[in-house]
Homo-oligomer: A and B are copies of this chain.
Amino acid sequence: MNERFEILESTLVSLLKSKKYSTLRDILVTMNPNDIAQIMGGLEEERIPLLFRLLPKELAAETFVEMDTDAQEMLIQGFSDTELKEIVDELYVDDAADLVEEMPANVVKRILKQATPEMRNSINQILRYPENSAGSIMTTEYVALRPDMTVGESLKQIRRKGVDKETIYTCYVTDNRTLIGVVSVKDLLLAPTDDVVISDIMLRNIISVTTQTDQEEVARMLSKYGFLAMPVVDSDNRMVGIVTFDDAMTVLQEEVTEDIEIMAGMTPSEDSYLKTTPWEMFKNRFPWLLLLMVSATFTGMIITSFESALAQVVVLTAFIPMLMGTGGNSGSQSSVTVIRALSLGELKFSDMGIVVWKELRTSLLCGIVLGVACFGKVYLVDNLLMGNPDVTMWIALVVSLALVVTVILAKLVGCVLPLVAKKLGFDPAVMASPFITTIVDALSLLIYFMFATMILHL
């Protein structure tokens, strides 16, 4: 596939350079708008409007939607009012609303001036919903049928009005704007005769979301049920729009990227990697590094307060990184597993007991086996094999015992914190490795020095 794309790309670029515009147009009309947008993304800026003007109206609008914000803005700035109107007329309402959200004020004014009053209303309606809600990503263009229509009449209506709808395959049956049923084009086509009445074949057990539902929840439900579109209703169960599966897939991908970035201790980035400037990356990463660096002061203070003990048995220092590292890894294993299960909707706060019991048994297994391995490694390898007389059996015991307790505590902290964060309304992803590691670092040192003081009588 990538090969095919690269051949297409180089052909188009060379046709563009040799100004073979009519051949170029012939190829462009057969192409997928996504691919065209991607190729435009790789062109020098001054070439984009030229290529764009070669596209027929509908394909131009579809391509426009797939382009990145900078290129869109550049194109609009160069458009005449007539050109802009042609594009805006072809846009689906949800795409137009996205555009209005992302463009600077002067561009927005031009876009809204070119939109029909009807579209302007729909855009404004969508923009009123909170960010990341079903209302803000829905489209108001769906096929609505009445319950008393026949299959034949319904198909006729779809044929008449379907061209402007984002999906025609799922139709919504409304009575006085209240959503009362769902019927698919498959049901319509496979109905025994054209005279069957919609209310006899429609599905009445409707799964829907409200305009306020979080977009991630909508996407997860679409994925769970395998729907083509999810109906969006207002608080009175009146149909206001649909969220289509392709938008849901995009939402899922974006939310996952966001989760992963937060889990690695970063503010989520707005753009793709190659579009993000070093300065933006600095702004996303620096505050977290600073916060974590400052909170590492605690570990420093713990070490300082045991300085005299360390000065007596300097070899203890050598095991600090291993202890803290293993503790941190154990903790982040648990926290990341629980965070993912939370974001897949597999866990809720009330499962806390089950989670803690499961992690406790897992951590006992991990802790004890690791402790034994550690004792063997420290005593046998460091003392006997490498002949370091400072590493006595007692030192090995201190290190191993500290390791066992650290692993167990790390796993418990790791599984509890994301659940608590969720309950308190924070994003559980914040509780992933950097955060857990900082807590576990301090914990592991305290445990280590406690065992050292007890066993070595420091």
Contacts and interface: CB of A to CB of B under 8 A. Distances in A.
Interface stretch (A17-25, A102-110, A114-122, A302-310): A302-310
A132 interface: no
A42 to B, nearest CB: 13
A213 interface: yes
Contacts of A333: 264-266, 285, 288-289
A15 B333 CA distance: 42
Contacts of A186: 162, 168-169
Contacts of A252: 249, 252-253
Contacts of A50: none
Quick one: copies of this chain in the complex?
A: 2
User: Interface of chain A, helix or strand or loop or mixed?
Assistant: helix
A424 interface: no
Interface stretch (A75-83, A358-366, A449-457): A358-366
Interface in A404-441: 407, 432-434, 437-438, 441
A337 B296 contact: no
Nearest to A369: B286
A7 interface: no
Nearest to A33: B225
Contacts of A359: 278
A90 to B, nearest CB: 16
A325 B264 contact: no
A287 to B, nearest CB: 10
B261 A336 contact: yes
A433 B332 contact: yes
Nearest to A158: B189
Given A314-B307, A346-B272, A299 B285 contact: no
Contacts of A31: 205
A68 B307 CA distance: 55
Nearest to A4: B207
A374 B290 CA distance: 9
B297 A322 contact: yes
A293 B325 contact: yes
Contacts of A249: 222-223, 226, 245, 248-249, 252
A324 B333 CA distance: 19
B319 A365 contact: no
Contact of A365 (B32, B272, B286, B369): B286
